[in-house]
Amino acid sequence: MTLPPRVSDRAFARLAEIAEDTGEVKALRVAVDGGGCSGFQYDIRFDEPSADDLVLEKDGQKVLIDPVSLPFLENAVVDFAEELIGSRFVIDNPNASSSCGCGISFSM
């Protein structure tokens, strides 16, 4: 069964913290591009919504996914991780058959 991607409470909370720190609410875009060491790579950045984006929203915070990236992100979870090497938004993608050590590049 195909499920749309979802966003963890931790990721939405981090977006709210960023909005509070900067004084402005920005949407987080999660996209998939060709390239990287494994064939595909994630492009995670702040952006403005487009008319055809899937918008995942909670408490005024938004995550945007464009229609081209959507099939690559079915059943995936956008999360926020704090690790010894730093903190970042991460994608737990069950569609990825392998990924590189950086977690940004993957293959299907």
Tens-digit pLDDT profile for residues 32-41: 987 656 577 8
pLDDT digits (tens, 9 = 90+) for 64-77: 999 999 999 999 99
Integer Cα distance of 50 and 86 in angstroms: 30
Task: Evaluate whether 73 touches 13 at the Cβ level (below 8 Å).
Answer: no
Residues forming beta bridges with residue 38, ordered by sequence position: none
Residues forming beta bridges with residue 86, ordered by sequence position: 83
Task: Evaluate whether 80 touches 45 at the Cβ level (below 8 Å).
Answer: no
What is the dihedral angle through the alpha carbons of 58, 63, 68, 74, rounded to the nearest 10 degrees?
Answer: -60
Domain 6-99 CATH assignment equals 2.60.300.12: yes
- The full length of the chain comes to 108
Instruction: Supply the pTM of this predicted model.
Output: 0.84
